[in-house]
Amino acid sequence: VQPPERPLQSEEWNKLREDFQLPEIFEKVMLNSMIRCNSPIDVAKSLLSDLAKRNGDITYNVLVKYLTLCVQQGQVSEIRDVYDIMKVRFKILESGAYNLLIRGLSNSDQWTMALTLLEEIKKVMVPSRTCYQSCIKAASRHQEMELAFELYKEMLAKDVVPTLDVLQSFFDFSRGVKGAELQKELFGILLYLRDNQIYPHKTFMRSIKLWFESIPGENWRGRLTKIKDSGQCPVCNHQLEDSNLTEEEYSNLSERIIRDVIHGTDTFRKTSPEEFEAFQTFVEKRLPFDIVIDGLNVSHIKSRKMQCENLFDAINCLAKDNARLLVLGRKHMLMNSSNWKRETMKEMQNKAEFFFAENISEDDAFLLYATLRSGKHCRFVTRDFLRDHKACLPDSLTRHLFRKWQRGHQIVLNQNVFPVFFQQPAFRYDCVVQTTGDTWHIPYKDVFEEKYSYQVPRNWLCIRQKL
């Protein structure tokens, strides 16, 4: 339906309604298309007047749609009128209307009303993150930074995840303002990014940079850069944090993996107690390994080659420098078949240790265990992202630890260059927001660059204080 361009009289609306196939939903469809076309508000008003005349009442649904149109066009007085009407008609509103009202009012000079509305929502439900976003932005726009931070903390306490927009607005509106308290809060946000392994996008990064450089009398300088593989920042020659976990994190992670990934609710789901015990004694006797290989995964790298040849190539490649290898496989690999030749298997067993699990067991769990047990220097080879194992970990903190450890220890074989063998270097440095007090290093992603969850950004913002 094409909405009319000017307000219509009742008769004209009637005519339109009669022409429409489903007169019951005429208003709904018409208002939706008005929202889509961003029609003048007067047109919608004339429709509402017609409705009020016909039925003596306007349904909530229609009011909300009208409200959407008002918010879209920033008609503050209309928003207030609609709110007054709704307030009288209904005891409470539902989240859609609240979101709209808050969004509409927070952008106007009546932004304090948005705050009262937020209080009202809290009585019946947890406000959505967009509600908080609007209120926080409104508060910081009016330099009520304390209030904005109060709302931000409340939001975190309620487990509502803030949008990057909110975080960015803090930096945008604090530009040029001096204050130790404020600075502390903003550093707190940067540490929030660090703890949750969130990477800001380019515009957000720019806001951070500008804020740092605008602090009066502190002389911060920011530069964009790329970190070397060694983990050194080319701008300030600062060595980034190591990707290794601390002793405590490490033991914590290995404990959790054994408990939640290998055993889980039922040890029989991934292995069996006898098998796991056998594996444990096997590993303990031969510790430590340098590289643990997921045999089956590696053997499928090139589909044109025989599976055992693939594995053989990989082992030959990795067996340099007397590295101690452990290959995990399944028992079916020992059966002489078209894909697994007995002679090749024998030869491989001379070069590396092998452990063969039952055909129905999950070898990935063993891979994790053996690698963790061997110590921090040990790395593992598989193309698997291990997402299902990460998902077995119950809390996000351990999952972050897992991801960090994985980044530092997983070697991925590239099937195109193999067997010349390109190893994705396991990262030596940790890719998170980090600080030493007088320097900050912040990884960021290009907005347009597509980033998978397993990838880390290569671009960094280096900020340091010149004294």
Partner 1 sequence: MQSANMLLRKIVRSSVLPFAAQHGMKKDLFPLSRSLSFSLCLKQDKSCEPSEKLDLDEWKKVMKSGLQEEVSETVSEFKELSGLAAARETVDMWRLAGKAVPESISEEQLKTFMECPSKSAKKKYLKYLYLKELHKKNNKRKMDEKRQRKLEAQDQASEMDETKRSPFVCLWSSTMDKAYNWRAAQSMIFGQPLVFDMSYEKEMSVREVTNTVSQIVMSESCNRRSVDPFHIHFCNFKDDSLYHREFVKSYREAWDKLLITVTDQCYTEIFPKDKLIYLTADSPKVMKTFDHDKIYVLGSMVDKSIKTGVSLARAKRLGLETAALPLEKYLLWSSGAKNLTLDQMMHILLTLKDTADWKKALEFVPKRKYCGFVNKPVKELRKTLDLINTLKFGKGREEVEKQFAKNYPKR
Nearer to partner 1, 230 or 303 (CB): 303
Least Å from the CB of residue 119 to partner 1: 4
Per-position x/- string for 56-85, each x denoting binding to partner 1 as judged by CB under 8 A, each - no binding: xxxxxx--x---------------xx--xx
328 binds partner 1 (CB under 8 A): no
Nearer to partner 1, 88 or 420 (CB): 88
Nearer to partner 1, 131 or 463 (CB): 131
153 binds partner 1 (CB under 8 A): no
391 binds partner 1 (CB under 8 A): no
Nearer to partner 1, 187 or 268 (CB): 268
49 binds partner 1 (CB under 8 A): yes
Contact pick of 90, 187, 422, 454 for partner 1 (by CB under 8 A): 90
Contact pick of 31, 115, 135, 352 for partner 1 (by CB under 8 A): 115
120 binds partner 1 (CB under 8 A): yes
Residues 297-326 that bind partner 1 (CB under 8 A): 303
Least Å from the CB of residue 81 to partner 1: 6
Nearer to partner 1, 42 or 181 (CB): 42
40 binds partner 1 (CB under 8 A): no
- The footprint of partner 1 on this chain (CB under 8 A) covers a number of residues equal to 51
Residues 238-297 that bind partner 1 (CB under 8 A): 266, 268-270, 272
Cis peptide before 457 (omega within 30 of 0): no
106 binds partner 1 (CB under 8 A): no
Nearer to partner 1, 42 or 255 (CB): 42
124 binds partner 1 (CB under 8 A): yes
Least Å from the CB of residue 461 to partner 1: 35
Instruction: By CB under 8 A, name the binding residues for partner 1.
Output: 7, 9, 28, 42, 45-46, 48-49, 51-54, 56-61, 64, 80-81, 84-85, 87-97, 113, 115-116, 119-120, 123-126, 266, 268-270, 272, 303, 359-360
